[in-house]
Amino acid sequence: MKKFSLLVIALIVLTACSSDEETVPTTSTVNINFTHSWDGTLVTNADFNDLKYTNAHGEQLSIERLRYVLSNIYLTKTSGPSFKIEDYVFVDMSQQQSLSLSKDTILPNGTYNLSFVFGFNNEDNQDGVYLDLNSADFNVPMMLGGGYHYMQFDGKFLDTNDMPVGFNYHAIRAADNSDPDNIFLRDTSFTVTLGEVEVVDNEVNITLDMNIAEWFKNPNEWDLNQLNQMLMPNYAAQLMMSDNGKTAFSLQ
């Protein structure tokens, strides 16, 4: 009887240990590389300042600066919970260190969908709270609602007279300030969901690509001769940018 009791106790202890091991959180390394392309051709900062790209409307253009924010980055199990990877990243094509993210996080092996917000949603788009973005002059003036840019994309294009003209394709929260005492703001950030990615042996490597050409073509074909500067206070232009950006990102 005594031996039987000891055997029962041993089985209970082993079962408890096995249960504890099963519930121990698993730490995985998430590596995300941010790449950029023009309809399948790789774009890097070595390609800046060269009028080598042609948009859907037929304008020849160059890229001089491209930087943007992605926030609320999650990996969501196809049949389970979501895991937050990062609050936000500031991607700047001219800064090599900003083109990758490596994060250790609680993330079991399995199949996931990647999701993120382009820019900041209204809850997160609070004026002055992100010190690195303040230092980068990524703020939006209070006359346009404050907060931050979603993207600053600058370059030059050849106009109808074949003369180089600067453009500032800056995406922000849409602001109608026709009545300065009553600014109407509309959240033009958007969520992108991409999949699937596999976490294997507690590591996942993700390449997230932005097709820059999409900002000019889908669903709104962009005429740079008409829409090149002063786009931040242009409420309608901001809505068009938001629509076009939804097809710009893909997993490679």
The whole-number pLDDT of residue 25 equals 61
Residue 247 CB partners (closer than 8 Å, separation 6+): 211, 214, 218
**So what's the pLDDT on residue 14?**
39
Residue 17 lies in a domain: no
**18 domain-assigned:** no
In a domain, 5, yes or no: no
**Host domain of residue 127:** 28-251
Placement of tokens 């196809």 in the chain: 78
Tell me: pLDDT of 135 over 60. Answer: yes
pLDDT value at residue 4 = 40
Q: Tell me, yes or no, whether 59 lies in a domain.
A: yes
7-39 pLDDT, tens digit each: 433 444 334 443 333 344 688 999 999 999 999
Tokens of 14: 């082993």
pLDDT of 1 higher than 60: no
Asked whether residue 16 is domain-assigned, the answer is no
The mean pLDDT value of the chain amounts to 90
**13 domain residue, yes or no:** no
Question: How many separate domains does the chain show?
Answer: 1
* Predicted pLDDT of residue 18: 39
How large a percentage of the chain has pLDDT more than 90? Answer: 83
Q: How confident is the model at residue 46 (pLDDT cuts 50, 70, 90)?
A: very high
Domain assignment present for 115: yes
What's the confidence (pLDDT) of residue 11?
Answer: 40
3 pLDDT tier (thresholds 50, 70, 90): very low
| pTM of structure | 0.88
Report if residue 177 sits inside a domain. Answer: yes
Residues 168-206 have pLDDT tens digits of 999 999 999 888 888 899 999 999 999 889 999 999 999
